[in-house]
Structure 1
């Protein structure tokens, strides 16, 4: 979940809303890669989730990272709720999932180095307090009641609201994890093409990264339960956004969409003010019930943009949001997959050719099928395994064309970061398939084995 945004001063003209988004346009040489990933912390002896408070806790993890590894504290209401250093930040998801939001970097090599350092630091602190961390798309055993709600005002408000707008919102908050990548665009036309390809191909990412076949100690019938959860969270702010594929889509149309997303809060003086279900349009007119007579700032607009949760989201950059959290190799593979497709024009054009004839109904059906069947999904003749194979080939070609060397020039490009995905395409098996095989095989139905086998 996003931290409070700093977007600027008062909104005096409606046009500023689209201008705020358009300000994200950058020349290609300034495009960067920002990777975010979440993971579950647990007590090694009991396998129960880490609480916020205590000697073995999320707070202890944050304090250890602060004291040992030079991270600066971020507090809210006197509680330590995050850390920041060198353009990156560590934040807490509602159930205590620890998230690294990486600094904007130029190459996947740098992203992977950042991930490596972060996981080493986390393990250093966790080992001392008897904790472990695991990358899965959904909590394998824990109940809602076993997971503390983190002490952030935004989460308290969301927790109260989620039960009114869907059936899975609180499950999403406490018991799911994702990995996502944030990428730049060069112009409005570039943004449009990237948003369309991003949304259409999110089911491919969902399938390739599916990693949540267990829930509350049982096989749940989905390769990606996390994806299933997002389908019944809040229809006003989630989904595949068919309007993005309409003629005339651009920054202004995204503004209209975001204005129709009900508000959660307004952030003032370090506190979250309840604006649940209220209208940003009313806020623009000085008629927001939560703050009568006040009008918003661009910081408020930036905050509001973080409360829409579609499969691909636009702010001043585009966020790819369709993948489950997972093992180390896939934390580097996700940005590699999307950078290869998005940052080379030939690959991007090829990806658009793959998906341009799909209907809104097909895109929606692929999203559902990917969550259930992974790469085995098929919808009206569209075979997800074959589309994944073609998309991956385009991504690999895009990374080769980028030719960003690593390891002091010894590694000529970034294509090796796709190896985990190439294995999945070759075998047809994604992480969820491997988990299920072990659960029904050598684990003999003992799900507690997942912690030793798949922790970082």
Structure 2
């Protein structure tokens, strides 16, 4: 293990060594469970009323709760997830359905071994859900942000964690409630074989992510008006809460390793504590809001017992960080707006080519050798400032289109007012 770097988080608190070891073992398990070539894909959907394109809420008659109950027979009854007496998630082999704070419906698909498998599994989901949502008077659309509704018009779903998140994110940054209630994304997860492989992929993913975000942007609207931000999703996350978003601190330091990442996430305030799978809290009789509470200043060592952490606790701690590339026991690439499945499949094909074809990996790693965090910040700012005329890392977008194998991609947002299918599902 390399000597840990010094970061601002380490100056604030020293993590519990047992917790650090827990995360290192968790990352190591990712190596033993996977070879190379697997994918996970998450596509979030915005439910909107057919009548006026406003957001559908969880609680309204014929809303999201009704939809989940109607599609439940297609799923494994042992994988239903309930909270506060409400159905909030479903699962079956190869696909799960869950909810984001504003009622966004997320499908998690995988593990896939070929990008083309996505279309079949996702198509099965839509063939089951679309007739039901049509009966209920709404549809699921693919945009990075609600087309008509404001965050202020959308209540959070009945998960206790989202009340705690609202308490926290409503007080920091600029876009917390907007992100929670109105945004939707596409994420692609890839595997790794060892520590060095994972760090190399995280660096490359962080470097090229903003460029791919430009070519796969899909947010024509923001707060009921035309969106003026070239990359709305990036703008929201960059100005959300800097201690848990943007580039992982120290990632491009040659000494960076798993221990550095573990120490960073363990030292950062949790935002909110999830004790639902902490036996000490459950056995003590804690319930409801006590198991999900705001943790403005408390880090993992101040919330969880002095022992090795279980997998649920580890996943929660890491999930309170929203870096554009996130390490669990797989690597999440999190840059993209919600995409129709055809574009999501194309994105997955590109990710497969760049990360799983050795010649392409070598070419990318060589090109970005010596890259600094500051260079990534500059590239992102360049895209936001100049749009189509941007030159991230000193190269025009036409260069990146060829270099990253993006030939044939539209340079307009599908659904832009220039197109007739403005509210296409």
Q: What is the root-mean-square deviation of aligned Cα atoms in Å?
A: 2.4
> Residue 279 of structure 1: which of 277, 293, 298 is its match?
298
Do the aligned residues in 1 keep the contact of 2:20 with 2:263 (CA within 8 Å)? no
> Residue 364 of structure 1: which of 352, 363, 377 is its match?
377
SS of 1:82's partner is strand
Inter-partner Cα distance in structure 2 for 1:310 and 1:258? 11
> Are the structure 2 counterparts of residues 437 and 373 from structure 1 closer, same or farther at C-alpha, using a change threshold of 3 Å?
farther
Residue aligning to 1:63: 69
1:199 Cα deviation after fit: 0.5
> Are the structure 2 counterparts of residues 26 and 158 from structure 1 closer, same or farther at C-alpha, using a change threshold of 3 Å?
same
Q: Which runs of no fewer than 5 residues in structure 1 stay unpaired?
A: 1-9, 393-420, 443-448
Do the aligned residues in 1 keep the contact of 2:101 with 2:157 (CA within 8 Å)? yes
The structure 1 segments of at least 4 consecutive aligned residues displaced by more than 6 Å after TM superposition are none
> Residue 407 of structure 2: which of 403, 422, 429 is its match?
422
> Residue 117 of structure 1: which of 124, 129, 152 is its match?
124
State which drifts further: 354-363 or 42-51: 354-363
> Residue 79 of structure 1: which of 54, 79, 86 is its match?
86
Residue aligning to 1:403: none
Residue aligning to 1:387: 400
Do the aligned residues in 1 keep the contact of 2:164 with 2:293 (CA within 8 Å)? yes
> Are the structure 2 counterparts of residues 116 and 24 from structure 1 closer, same or farther at C-alpha, using a change threshold of 3 Å?
same
Q: Does 1:32 align with 2:49?
A: no
> Residue 353 of structure 1: which of 354, 358, 366 is its match?
366
> Residue 237 of structure 1: which of 235, 244, 253 is its match?
244
1:99 Cα deviation after fit: 0.3
> Residue 431 of structure 1: which of 376, 399, 413 is its match?
413
Inter-partner Cα distance in structure 2 for 1:27 and 1:296? 20
> Residue 377 of structure 1: which of 390, 393, 415 is its match?
390
Residue aligning to 1:312: 325
SS of 1:450's partner is coil
Do the aligned residues in 1 keep the contact of 2:89 with 2:96 (CA within 8 Å)? yes
Do the aligned residues in 1 keep the contact of 2:58 with 2:65 (CA within 8 Å)? yes
> Are the structure 2 counterparts of residues 62 and 302 from structure 1 closer, same or farther at C-alpha, using a change threshold of 3 Å?
same
Give 1:104-253 correspondences, 5 Å limit. Answer: 104-253=111-260
> Are the structure 2 counterparts of residues 121 and 44 from structure 1 closer, same or farther at C-alpha, using a change threshold of 3 Å?
same
Inter-partner Cα distance in structure 1 for 2:162 and 2:134? 28
> Residue 28 of structure 2: which of 22, 34, 42 is its match?
22
Q: TM-score, normalised by structure 2?
A: 0.86
Inter-partner Cα distance in structure 2 for 1:63 and 1:374? 43
Inter-partner Cα distance in structure 2 for 1:312 and 1:360? 13
Q: TM-score, normalised by structure 1?
A: 0.81
SS of 1:437's partner is coil
For residues 368-387 of structure 1, give each alpha carbon's deviation from its aligned partner in whole angstroms, at most 9, with x where no partner exists: 33346555422462323312
> Are the structure 2 counterparts of residues 80 and 383 from structure 1 closer, same or farther at C-alpha, using a change threshold of 3 Å?
same
State which drifts further: 231-240 or 334-343: 334-343
> Residue 267 of structure 1: which of 258, 275, 278 is its match?
275
Residue aligning to 1:3: none
> Are the structure 2 counterparts of residues 27 and 103 from structure 1 closer, same or farther at C-alpha, using a change threshold of 3 Å?
closer
For residues 305-351 of structure 1, give each alpha carbon's deviation from its aligned partner in whole angstroms, at most 9, with x where no partner exists: 11110110001010000111122311212222212111122211111
1:109 Cα deviation after fit: 1.8
Residue aligning to 1:297: 309
Do the aligned residues in 2 keep the contact of 1:35 with 1:180 (CA within 8 Å)? yes
Residue aligning to 2:6: none
SS of 1:423's partner is coil
Inter-partner Cα distance in structure 1 for 2:374 and 2:185? 25
Do the aligned residues in 1 keep the contact of 2:353 with 2:360 (CA within 8 Å)? yes
Inter-partner Cα distance in structure 2 for 1:197 and 1:163? 32
Residue aligning to 1:410: none
> Are the structure 2 counterparts of residues 44 and 62 from structure 1 closer, same or farther at C-alpha, using a change threshold of 3 Å?
same
1:157 Cα deviation after fit: 0.3
Do the aligned residues in 1 keep the contact of 2:252 with 2:372 (CA within 8 Å)? no
1:232 Cα deviation after fit: 0.8
**Whose relative contact order is higher, 1 or 2, with alpha carbons under 8 Å and at least 6 apart?**
2
